[in-house]
Amino acid sequence: MDLRFFSFLIGLLFLISCGTSKNIIQTDKIKPNSPWLLGFEKTDVNPIMRADASYTFLDPISSTEVNWQKADVFNPGAIVKNDTVFLLFRAEDNPDAILGGRTSRIGLAYSTNGIDFTKYPKPVLFPDNDEFSQWDQPGGIEDPRVVETPEGSYIMMYTSWNTDVARLSSATSTDLKHWTKHGPVFEEAYGGQFLDVWSKSGSIVTELVNGRLIAKKINGKYLMYWGELFVNLATSENGVDWEPTLTQDGELLHSFKPSLNEFDSHLTEPGPPALFTDAGILLLYNGKNLSGEGATSKYPEGTYCGGQVLFDKNDPSIMISRLETPFICPSLPHEVSGQYKAGTTFIEGLVYFRNNWFLYYGTADSMVGLAVKK
């Protein structure tokens, strides 16, 4: 069977099971004063970014030239600066390595319309011969999420992957091009109790201020939802070093958990930076369906779809409500035929640009997609 026709059939099956490639939620069933951010439509140009073997980089670890984005580009963070959208995307080098066995680096691209991007030639954050090498290699630096501070600088949360333990790490910048690493964000908290605990996906709470999403301090501290299987909360005074929220027994407090027999039955992983609103703190997250017992039959097993959950703004550790239906799911051929063939729309970058919401996501761990809410 022709590969393109086979991919088309797969995409057609996802269209049937996950809804159309346009709105996944029937927004006319939602109340006008709903707290949910709905009505996203995938753009006609999709994907908007692909791998490109022509980009080379002198790797400081091996001292050799590598095709740093030859295999895949996906899972981007996004920020608006000077009426321009900047994407900080994850790029993998070796297409012959298995899933999770490649080295990831962070690249930078810019666009004046939010759709057509120009890439900078070299990665802006990567494993190096530095004090963070023990965390960052050989797997590399993954899945950036970026926020602007009230002072105008930038904080990036990313995953350091040494192929043993995934550790949520931080970096800062004043220009998006030059970054200073600060290492694992839980290295100091509680005497390092959570340094070697698997941690990923840091979504710092932001607020829309004069058309830009700015990291918001509450009672003098930044807030961050983080995790992979569960959504946890952490606080920080500087945005770099974080303290997880714990139960009275000293265990991690799970503020939001998977729902069996639903689209997020396997895991609930934070997506883009969360939004502080009048209704509460809105977190867009990535829900994964289980395979086997506990999975829902509404969506294919193992599929990643995007969901939304609302937390109490007066006590951000408390969940108020969860949107029962995902608002975005894999529905296009390239979203179910890449490195992760079970199907992925992994949401990670959200910006307010020219009076529209632009949502950037990874497609099957292979490319970058875009959906826009007008």
Cβ–Cβ under 8 Å, residues 140 and 105? yes
Half-sphere exposure of 213 (CA within 13 A, CB side): 30
pLDDT of residue 34: 86
Amino acid of residue 41: E
Give the H or E element holding residue 125.
none
Domains of the chain, residue spans:
3-373
The whole-model pTM stands at 0.92
Distance CA 88, CA 106 (A): 6
Q: Using alpha carbons, select from 19, 9, 38 the residue that is nearest to residue 310.
A: 38
Distance CA 370, CA 328 (A): 11
**Neighbour tally for 343: CB within 10 Å:** 29
Distance CA 155, CA 10 (A): 38
Give the H or E element holding residue 16.
helix 3-18
Distance CA 228, CA 230 (A): 5
> Over pLDDT 70: what percentage of the chain?
91
Cβ–Cβ under 8 Å, residues 371 and 231? no
Distance CA 17, CA 19 (A): 6
Give the H or E element holding residue 59.
strand 57-59
Distance CA 40, CA 58 (A): 39
Terminal Cα distance for the chain, rounded: 39
pLDDT of residue 32: 58
**How many helices (H) does the chain have, and how many strands (E)?**
2, 27
| Averaged pLDDT, groups of 10, the chain, 374 residues long | 39 44 45 85 97 97 96 97 97 84 94 98 98 96 98 98 97 98 98 97 97 95 97 98 97 97 98 97 98 96 97 97 97 89 94 97 95 96
pLDDT of residue 329: 97
Distance CA 266, CA 303 (A): 10
Distance CA 69, CA 59 (A): 12
pLDDT of residue 296: 97
Q: What is the CATH number of domain 3-373?
A: 2.115.10.20
Q: Which two tokens stand for residue 137?
A: 């290699």
Distance CA 374, CA 96 (A): 40
Distance CA 87, CA 369 (A): 12
Cβ–Cβ under 8 Å, residues 165 and 185? no
Distance CA 19, CA 55 (A): 37
Q: Using alpha carbons, select from 260, 263, 348 the residue that is nearest to residue 302.
A: 263
CA distances from 14 to 93, 282, 330, 342 (A): 29, 27, 6, 10
- Compute the C-alpha angle 284/350/279, nearest 5°: 50
pLDDT of residue 1: 40
Distance CA 290, CA 305 (A): 12
Cβ–Cβ under 8 Å, residues 353 and 78? no
